[in-house]
Amino acid sequence: MSDYAFILFEVEDQVATLTLNRPDALNALTVEMMAEVRLAMAEVEADKDIRALIFTSAGRGFCSGQDLKNRPAEGTDIVELYCDVYLGVFEGIRTCRVPVIVAVNGIAAGGGFSLALNGDIVMAARSAKFIQVFSRIGLIPDLGSTWLLPRAIGRTKALKIMMTNETVTADMALEWGMITDCVDDDQLIPRARELAAKLAKGPTLALMSTRNMVDEGNANTFAQQFRRELEVNSEMRVSFDGKEGVNAFLEKRPAAFRGE
C-alpha cells in the first residue's frame, strides 16, 4: 500500500483500489487530496501489471463535494488551480489505461456527484444518494456536471435536479441510467471486486479502445464511426490479445489475455 495522507491506494491480483480517505469530512474535496489522487492515477498508468481500477471512499459518504472550510488562499486564481489539479484527476479517470469502476458508498453531492459519473462503470450502494446542491449556495454545477449529467440522463431530468437540488436515490439513478448497478450496501465492494477481477482478465486494449470509440462517437457521423471501428479493429487484430482471442475461439478454449 502506498503512503498517502488523504487517500488509500493498494494493488492486489492486478486490481488497484483507490479510496478517498477523509471520512470525518465525508471525503470533501481539497486540492491536497486531489493532488494525491493524481499521483495514484500516475501509479496506475505506470504499473502495467494493473489491469483494473476501483475508485471508492471510506466511511459513510462517497464525497460531499468541495470542502468549503478548506478554500484556497485569497487572491488565488481558482480557475487555473482547479483546472490544473482537478481537471487532471477527472480526465485521468476518463482516459485511464484500464477499466475504472466507481463504487459509490454513500452521499455524492456537488463535485462528488460529478466525480462519481466519471467511471466506465458506476456501482452504488442501495443507500447511496446523489444531489447537486450548487444552486442552494448560489452557484452553477461545476467539475464537469453540466457536461456529464445531461449525457447520462438527458437534458430535462438533468436541469430539474440541478435547479431544484432534488435528491436522486440509487434506485432512481439506476432507473434513469445514471449508474450501472445498485446493490445492497454490504455487497458494494465485494461486487466491485468481483467485476474488477473479471475485467482484469480481459483484453485491456480492446476494452479501452471500446471506451475511446464510444467517446469519439459523440462527435462523429455514422459513416465516420463505421470507418473508425474498422480501423481500430485492424489494429486490435495484430495485438497479442487479438490473436489470442481468435485462436482461443477456434480452439474452443478460454482466452488467456495479457492486456497487450
Q: Output the nine-digit C-alpha cell for 238.
A: 495484430
- 10-60 pLDDT, tens per residue? 999 999 999 999 999 999 999 999 999 999 999 999 999 999 999 999 999
Q: What is each CA distance from 191 to 50, 107, 170, 184, 208, in whole angstroms?
A: 19, 19, 16, 10, 21
**Average pLDDT rounded to a whole number, residues 152-165:** 95
pLDDT band of residue 2 (cuts 50, 70, 90) is: low
Q: Would you say residue 214 has pLDDT above 60?
A: yes
Question: Dihedral of CA 10/16/19/20: which sign?
Answer: positive
Supply the pLDDT for residue 57: 97
Higher pLDDT, 1 or 236: 236
Average pLDDT of the chain, as a whole number? 94
Q: Would you say residue 63 has pLDDT above 60?
A: yes
Supply the pLDDT for residue 1: 56
Q: Would you say residue 73 has pLDDT above 90?
A: no
Supply the pLDDT for residue 29: 95
- 108-136 pLDDT, tens per residue? 999 999 999 999 999 999 999 999 999 88
Q: DSSP labels for the chain?
A: ----SSEEEEEETTEEEEEE--GGGTT-B-HHHHHHHHHHHHHHHH-TT--EEEEEESTTEEE-SB-TTSPPPTT--HHHHHHHHHHHHHHHHHT-SS-EEEEE-SEEETHHHHHHTTSSEEEEETT-EEE--GGGGT----TTHHHHHHHHH-HHHHHHHHHH---EEHHHHHHHTS-SEEE-GGGHHHHHHHHHHHHHTS-HHHHHHHHHHHHHTTTS-HHHHHHHHHHHHHHHHTSHHHHHHHHHHHTTS-------
Supply the pLDDT for residue 39: 95
